[in-house]
Structure 1
């Protein structure tokens, strides 16, 4: 997988005791949901097509884990045509490039171990990997991407 296009990390968990999007396979497309909130619709709309997003989630009883790497396949304006008004009806169409082995949870990469950063997960907006918080740990986005290339390949 080409990690040079890794740009974002996004919280995807909900209140259920299941892994979100666990039934996907590499190459599958699915609607990546964003929970309605202040500025979320504009944020989701403006994420650039072609960007890669790491999905991070936490199930009850587990640490936060890195479970997918997905690519935005459409411009936000195209996806917005199908948005509805419910809590989870903001989405972007994505394609799976990497997925964790959900049959072996002990092998799923842990967010804290691999990303080496603490951040709040107060909403479902995608956060830039080049954030100040991560760059304090990694020095450059290229070093972080190289590390993640080892994790995801």
Structure 2
């Protein structure tokens, strides 16, 4: 997998199950952002750039936080927004799966802390930049991080 467009990591939860488990490589799905007017999630989701790759990090009950997917934003926010609903999970962006963990073998799913070497503040559903100060303290450059993640996801 080409990791040169890896730009973000995003927290995902699904009440005990693996979120988006049924979508295989090449599949498209509506990637949810939990609506929260106070944090500006709708504006954030709308402005994420088409073509960016996002790593999904999940914490399933009984497991450490893991890296489960790499997805690509396939539309501009303006193309997805007319389909948004008013429910708490109404905000979404259409994505395409580029990589997915082997859910049949949970012990082989990459651990977030081990691979990213950073502690995240998982306080909302915004996608965080991989070039953040937090990660760059550990990696020095986004290119070094992308090379490492290329080894993890290939």
Shorter-normalised TM range: over 0.9
Offset at residue 139 of structure 1 (A)? 0.2
**Per-residue CA distance 1:30-89 (angstroms, 9 max, x = gap):** 000000112000000000000000000001110000000000000001100100110001
Between the two proteins, the alignment pairs up a number of residues equal to 152
Structure 2: gaps of 5 or more residues: none
Query: Which residue of 2 is the match for residue 21 of structure 1?
Result: 20
* Distance in 2 (alpha carbons) for counterparts of 1:12 and 1:85: 20
Structure 1: gaps of 5 or more residues: none
After TM superposition, the runs of 4+ consecutive aligned structure 1 residues lying more than 4 A away are none
Query: Which residue of 2 is the match for residue 116 of structure 1?
Result: 117
TM-score normalised by structure 2 residue count: 0.98
Matches within 5 A, 1:65-76: 65-76=66-77
Query: Which residue of 2 is the match for residue 84 of structure 1?
Result: 85
Secondary structure of 1:81's counterpart equals helix
* Distance in 1 (alpha carbons) for counterparts of 2:130 and 2:123: 17
Offset at residue 17 of structure 1 (A)? 1.1
Offset at residue 150 of structure 1 (A)? 0.1
* Distance in 2 (alpha carbons) for counterparts of 1:12 and 1:35: 10
Matches within 5 A, 1:17-56: 17-37=16-36, 38-56=39-57
* Distance in 1 (alpha carbons) for counterparts of 2:117 and 2:98: 23
